Structure 1
Amino acid sequence: MSGGGISDLDKNRALAEWLEYRLRQVRARIRELEVKEQQEERARQRARAEQSWKIQPQRGGMPAMLHRGGCGLFKSELGFLDRQDAMIALAEPDIEACGICRPETGLAE
């Protein structure tokens, strides 16, 4: 350090500290954006489920049952039905409508 100025070493150390600080900020922002993206995807999936229907297969003497896509009484690993397929399913004599989510109300629209 000559003439009372800041040495190149000190300048580079300060720069490295600032860059590390900025990198931490950017990584934190990336985490925030990832969380937001995941939340938005879950919201899209919920909205899609609410506009769909699903069929609970017949089990243990219980009839097959038509549910709204978002009904929590039956978690389906299979795909959803569209409105037309749900209307056809509900017309079948061996498929009943769920008494909780009342999927037929969504079909009348």
Structure 2
Amino acid sequence: MEKWRATREYLAWQLRCVDQRVRELEAQEEKERRAAARKRERVTFKIQPQRSHEGALLHRGDCGLYKSPFGYISAEDAAVALDEPDIEACQICLPDDALPPV
């Protein structure tokens, strides 16, 4: 009976170690996912839809003035969008500074 108790304690210890490692790996995976999302936001752009009294605004992907979880566009598409007469660049994040020349 003593051997079985010792085996049970050892297996319980192993399970705690495995559970801890799984938690660490999950946390690392989540950290990497968030870092990839931030990186994607820095190199993409988004267009805030036109309001009745204002034109549409082009923002950098990580601009805090317009938080939209979707609708990101590439730098090339953003450069084309800025050529449109009813789309202006955000005066806070200055997306036109990060755009390639057209």
Which TM-score band applies after superposition, normalised by the shorter structure? over 0.9
Deviation sequence 1:50-94 (CA, Å, 0-9, x none):
000000001241210000001111011322111110001111111
Match of 1:101, SS state, is coil
Match of 1:96, SS state, is strand
Q: Does 1:52 align with 2:44?
A: yes
Of 76, 84, 91, the residue aligned with 1:84 is 76
Alpha-carbon RMSD:
1.2
Q: How do 1:20-35 and structure 2 match up within 5 A?
A: 20-35=12-27
The structure 1 segments of at least 4 consecutive aligned residues displaced by more than 2 Å after TM superposition are none
Cα distance between partner residues in 1 of 2:24 and 2:54: 46
Cα distance between partner residues in 1 of 2:52 and 2:86: 14
Q: Which residue of 2 aligns with 1:74?
A: 66
The count of residues paired between Structure 1 and Structure 2 equals: 101
Q: What 5-or-longer segments of structure 2 have no aligned partner?
A: none
Q: Which residue of 1 aligns with 2:6?
A: 14
Give, as a single letter, the amino acid of the residue that structure 1 aligns with 2:25: L
Distance 1:84 1:108, change over 3 A: closer
Q: TM-score, normalised by structure 2?
A: 0.93
Give, as a single letter, the amino acid of the residue that structure 2 aligns with 1:93: P
Q: Which residue of 2 aligns with 1:101?
A: 93
Q: What 5-or-longer segments of structure 1 have no aligned partner?
A: 1-8
Greater Rg over alpha carbons, structure:
1
